[in-house]
Chain A
Amino acid sequence: MARKATKRAAAPVLELRGLSKRYGRPLVLDKIDLSLAEHEVVCLIGASGSGKSTLLRCADLLEPIDAGSITLDGGTVSADDRDADATRRQLGIVFQGFSLFPHLTALENVALAPRVALGLTTAAAEKRARALLKQLGLAAKANAYPDSLSGGQQQRVAIARALATEPKVLLLDEITSALDPVLVADVLEALRALAKGGMTMLIATHEMAFAADVADRICYLEGGRIVEEGSPEKIFKAPRDPRTRAFLKRVRSVGASALR
């Protein structure tokens, strides 16, 4: 993959330096250093409770951080930044629960942030929303309300909604874990297409096969630290750290979503 070599050279879009976070006493994130180059796709893997969700929420300024810094496109942002709302517009995030707005149609869900937060006209916002829904294979569902959509469709609307402010980075937190296995494929396919299109993404996932396929880089988290990172080949075929090996062995013995 020649693509990656050129990517690494670019300046990072999102950079976390020495990021620490505690909930009460326990340290949930312990001096995380992580940077994403433009167009790069990074997957976070790790056992439940290793801090993947916390990392994504801190990066999106949804949680205050205790130490360290977050740099977006070269400018430092901090959790107590008074312009945190503006920063959030430059980062898209999708959680595992869809939290679509039930009183709005798919189209209105996607068009809301461009219209309200970016100040686009309704026509311009809806045009953008339509294009995104089409891109995610939901053109026919534009006027449907969330409760009449399948879980996979809802999750794709949520992705379209997160993309609607044209974020520099898309943060995705286990967005397939609440879905039927049949529906997972649709969502993963949509993400693959986004990755091909050059979207910069940071993805927390339990889908090892997907991670191996889509990621440029894998980070293995344990106890709030990045224990090991590297290309998918390296992490999945020849992990160096014994903790990474132990985790992958556990995942494989469970079967289903392990690396095929």
Chain B
Amino acid sequence: MTAARSARKGTLVAVISTLVVATLVAISIGSSPSWPLVQKAFFDGTYFSSSLPDVIGAFAINIQLFVLAEILILPIGLLIALARSITNPAFTPLRIFATIYTDFFRGVPSILLIYVLGFGVPALRLPGVPKEPFFWALVTLVLIYSAYVSEVYRAGIESIHPSQERAARALGLTRFQALRYVVLPQALRRVVPPLLNDFIGLQKDTALVSILGVVEAFKQAQILKSANFNFTPLMVTALIFLVITIPMTRLVDCLAAKDRATQQGGTR
């Protein structure tokens, strides 16, 4: 049998077995006596179509949040990572500060920080300090995810072999030039997949800001649920998140696989 033929046969077997199992699962769930109850509470057709526009509308807030946050996090995370990798003793205080920062914001539950910053700081009524929940939600997400992303950058920088910096220094490049032209360009290429992974987490965490009363998709769904005593709007929200996150997850897998292939095949 040729390789192509056996591959085709393999695909066919996979498709058939998947269909069979899926059908069996669907039948057994559908025929169980409690299914109508579950369907009515979670997957109701009318509530689905009536809540869809409202939830999608509110999801615009989630999109605003994570797009703004990502734009801010990329440079801030990089600055923190750089602060942590400076070896010059004069910058030790900066390095210590950056280390404490990452330890703290990676170690505290996100929901707690959102609560404290979103309710606590505006309650101080400091002049000139914004009170909008959206603002504080954004600040908190940026603080937390900059810490995660800085670690991703740092791992990327440290994965570049020291001989690269040495070669650059031997050519007369300064430490900063070596970082800027030799180390960082290579490191940034490697961090794209883990960076996207963190951004998937961030996109999901935009739902946490609902505790501040920001009417984003999750909060909107909760409102609709309470109005009708039906959970379908929450399923709609889940679906919308999945529509965004699943393609990203696939992209990460794909990029990571490509990275592995090039790293095995060559040095680039």
Interface flag for B8 (CB, 8 Å): no
**Judging by beta carbons under 8 Å apart, are B171 and A161 in contact?**
yes
- Closest A residue, CB atoms, query B262: A147
Contacts of A102 in B (CB 8 A): 186, 266-268
* Stretch from A34-42, A93-101, A130-138, A236-244 that touches the partner: A93-101
**Judging by beta carbons under 8 Å apart, are B163 and A103 in contact?**
no
From the candidates B170, B173, B267, name the one contacting A60 in the complex (CB within 8 A): B170
* Stretch from A46-54, A83-91, A189-197, A225-233 that touches the partner: A83-91
CA distance A95 to B174 in the complex (A): 19
Contacts of A90 in B (CB 8 A): 172
Interface flag for B166 (CB, 8 Å): yes
B residues in contact (CB < 8 Å) with A: 163-164, 166-174, 177, 181-182, 185-186, 189, 265-268
- Closest B residue, CB atoms, query A89: B172
CA distance A127 to B245 in the complex (A): 47
Given contacts A97-B163, A99-B163, contact A147 B267 (CB under 8 A): yes
Smallest beta-carbon distance B262→chain A, Å: 9
**Judging by beta carbons under 8 Å apart, are B171 and A165 in contact?**
yes
Size of the chain A interface, CB-CB below 8 angstroms: 29
Interface flag for A62 (CB, 8 Å): yes
* Stretch from A71-79, A112-120, A212-220 that touches the partner: A112-120
**Judging by beta carbons under 8 Å apart, are A117 and B173 in contact?**
yes
CA distance A95 to B164 in the complex (A): 12
Smallest beta-carbon distance B199→chain A, Å: 23
A-B contact pairs, 26 of them (CB 8 A): A62-B166, A62-B169, A89-B172, A95-B167, A99-B163, A99-B166, A99-B167, A100-B167, A101-B167, A101-B182, A102-B266, A102-B267, A112-B171, A112-B181, A112-B182, A113-B172, A113-B173, A116-B177, A117-B172, A117-B174, A117-B177, A146-B267, A146-B268, A147-B266, A147-B267, A165-B172
Interface flag for A247 (CB, 8 Å): no
From the candidates B171, B182, B185, name the one contacting A89 in the complex (CB within 8 A): B171
CA distance A165 to B189 in the complex (A): 28
**Judging by beta carbons under 8 Å apart, are B163 and A145 in contact?**
no
Contacts of A58 in B (CB 8 A): none
CA distance A90 to B172 in the complex (A): 8
CA distance A147 to B264 in the complex (A): 11
Contacts of B166 in A (CB 8 A): 62, 99
CA distance A116 to B163 in the complex (A): 19
CA distance A101 to B164 in the complex (A): 7
Contacts of A117 in B (CB 8 A): 171-174, 177
**Judging by beta carbons under 8 Å apart, are A116 and B267 in contact?**
no
A residues in contact (CB < 8 Å) with B: 60, 62, 85-86, 88-90, 92-93, 95, 97, 99-103, 112-113, 116-118, 145-148, 161-162, 164-165
**Judging by beta carbons under 8 Å apart, are B167 and A85 in contact?**
no
**Judging by beta carbons under 8 Å apart, are B268 and A145 in contact?**
yes
From the candidates A113, A145, A147, name the one contacting B171 in the complex (CB within 8 A): A113
**Judging by beta carbons under 8 Å apart, are A85 and B189 in contact?**
no
List the 3 closest pairs (A to B, CB-CB), nearest first.
A89-B172, A147-B266, A99-B167
Contacts of A112 in B (CB 8 A): 168, 171, 173, 181-182
**Judging by beta carbons under 8 Å apart, are B189 and A103 in contact?**
yes
CA distance A93 to B185 in the complex (A): 23
Contacts of A86 in B (CB 8 A): 172
Contacts of B266 in A (CB 8 A): 102, 147-148
Smallest beta-carbon distance A150→chain B, Å: 13
Known: A89-B172, A112-B182. 6 other contacts (CB 8 A): A88-B171, A102-B266, A113-B173, A117-B174, A147-B268, A162-B171
Identify which of B170, B171, B181 gathers the most chain A CB atoms within 10 Å of its CB: B171
Contacts of B169 in A (CB 8 A): 62, 85, 88
Smallest beta-carbon distance B191→chain A, Å: 14
Smallest beta-carbon distance A96→chain B, Å: 11
Contacts of B174 in A (CB 8 A): 85, 117
Smallest beta-carbon distance A115→chain B, Å: 9
Contacts of A85 in B (CB 8 A): 169, 172-174
- Closest A residue, CB atoms, query B184: A103
- Closest B residue, CB atoms, query A158: B167
From the candidates B170, B185, B267, name the one contacting A88 in the complex (CB within 8 A): B170
CA distance A89 to B186 in the complex (A): 23
